[in-house]
Amino acid sequence: MTELRTPPVNDGDLFSERARQYALEKPLQRIHILEAGCGWGTSLDLGDREHHVTGVDMDVPDLRAYTCERPDLDAWHLGDLRTVPLPPRTYDIVHASHLIERIPHAELVLDRFVAALKPGGLLLVHLRDRNTAFGFLDRALPRWLHVSGRRRRRTRPGRGPRGAHARIAYTTGDGVPGSGGSASGGGASGSSAPGKGASGHGMSRGGAERGAGHAEIAGTETPARPVTRPAVRTSPPPATYDRVASRSGIQWYCVMRGLVISEEYTSRQAIDALGAGTGPAELLCRLVSALSRGRLTADHSEVTFVIRKPENRFARVI
């Protein structure tokens, strides 16, 4: 299908470069990006090219807190990824990094992403491969021994991928700091574009900064206390590893859906982060690979795909 290669740069740079190349093909068009997995990662860097970023992710407290603090999102929706709003043929690029392996019903969610992608659009996927020694250990080890233990990292305040300022927090009527959105029922949604309202119980970020520093909550108006806070980024949440969450699974999915894999790379990011060559993760991966007679490889832990949706829905790749 494609020649398997090792990327010369990290996946963030690779995906941003492919996004900029795509934008050059559409010189008069505003680029619409779906940031799938917005609760922990960062957006693509399109430079000064006009673009609109919508984030989607599961509605859990850590992901919600980070999403609400991101200054680079123009809108966001949190909830069940099988039902969050995804209008068909709307987005030029779908960026899904460390999402496919950590959600249930991943194939159905992928179908929704592909349906939301414009013909000729890009699907940028980076995931941990379940069919590797690392993926096996990630699934099998007890949570307190988890090889992909979660670590918290702070980003510099006021610095986003698009150079936006840090958002202003607000306080609710009971004096508790708000985060710009809340969960209710199936999830929460919000928008950072001035003049755009938020659906559900989410709050417009533009609205939070309007009205002489006031926030309107449940019919009451309370003076907001401007607080500039850096967004706190977490590592990817624990993975569930659906069957499609692997190199062979994504290849099979693309064949069945008529998608074109333009580029495919493997990497050892997760293994290297835990001490490549000398750490216990490396030794465990080598042991698992040997016991499985090579079926579970220890040569990589993650795989990266640059996938294109054909312009012609009846196109086939020979």
| pLDDT by 10s per residue, the chain, length 318 | 444 454 545 666 899 999 999 999 999 899 999 999 999 888 899 999 999 999 999 999 989 999 999 999 999 999 999 999 999 999 999 999 999 999 999 999 999 999 999 999 999 999 999 999 999 998 888 765 554 444 444 433 333 444 333 333 322 233 333 333 333 334 566 765 443 433 333 333 443 333 333 333 233 333 333 333 445 555 666 789 999 999 999 999 999 999 999 999 999 988 887 765 567 878 889 999 999 999 999 999 999 999 999 987 555 544
Pairwise CA distance, residues 316 & 318, whole Å:
6
**Judgement on whether residues 98 and 202 belong to the same structural domain of the protein:** no
Structure tokens at 161: 């991928």
CATH of the domain at 35: 3.40.50.150
**Judgement on whether residues 45 and 84 belong to the same structural domain of the protein:** yes
**Judgement on whether residues 86 and 222 belong to the same structural domain of the protein:** no
**Judgement on whether residues 122 and 20 belong to the same structural domain of the protein:** yes
Pairwise CA distance, residues 31 & 122, whole Å:
11
**Kind and range of the H or E element at 75?**
strand 75-79
**Judgement on whether residues 95 and 68 belong to the same structural domain of the protein:** yes
Burial of 175 (C-beta count, 10 Å sphere; 0-12/13-18/19+): exposed
Q: What share of the chain is helix, strand, coil (3-state, %, to 5)?
A: 25, 25, 50
What is the tally of structural domains in the chain?
A: 2
Which pLDDT belongs to residue 239?
85
**Judgement on whether residues 180 and 100 belong to the same structural domain of the protein:** no
Residues 6+ apart with CB under 8 A from 148: 128, 138, 235, 236, 238, 239, 270
Contact assessment for residue 113 and residue 94, using Cβ atoms and an 8 Å cutoff: yes
Indicate whether 223 belongs to any domain: yes
Indicate whether 101 belongs to any domain: yes
**Judgement on whether residues 120 and 96 belong to the same structural domain of the protein:** yes
Q: Taking each helix axis as running N to C, give the angle between helix 280-291 and helix 133-140, from 0 to 180 degrees, rounded to the nearest 10.
A: 100
Contact assessment for residue 37 and residue 100, using Cβ atoms and an 8 Å cutoff: no
Indicate whether 5 belongs to any domain: no
Query: Tokens 């991943």 map to which residue?
Result: 106
Indicate whether 251 belongs to any domain: yes
**Judgement on whether residues 256 and 116 belong to the same structural domain of the protein:** yes
Tell me, yes or no, if the pTM score tops 0.75: no
Which pLDDT belongs to residue 238?
78
Question: What backbone torsions phi and psi does residue 165 show, to the nearest 5 degrees?
Answer: -80, 160
**Judgement on whether residues 112 and 58 belong to the same structural domain of the protein:** yes
Q: State which residues form the domain around 204.
A: 167-227
**Judgement on whether residues 187 and 95 belong to the same structural domain of the protein:** no
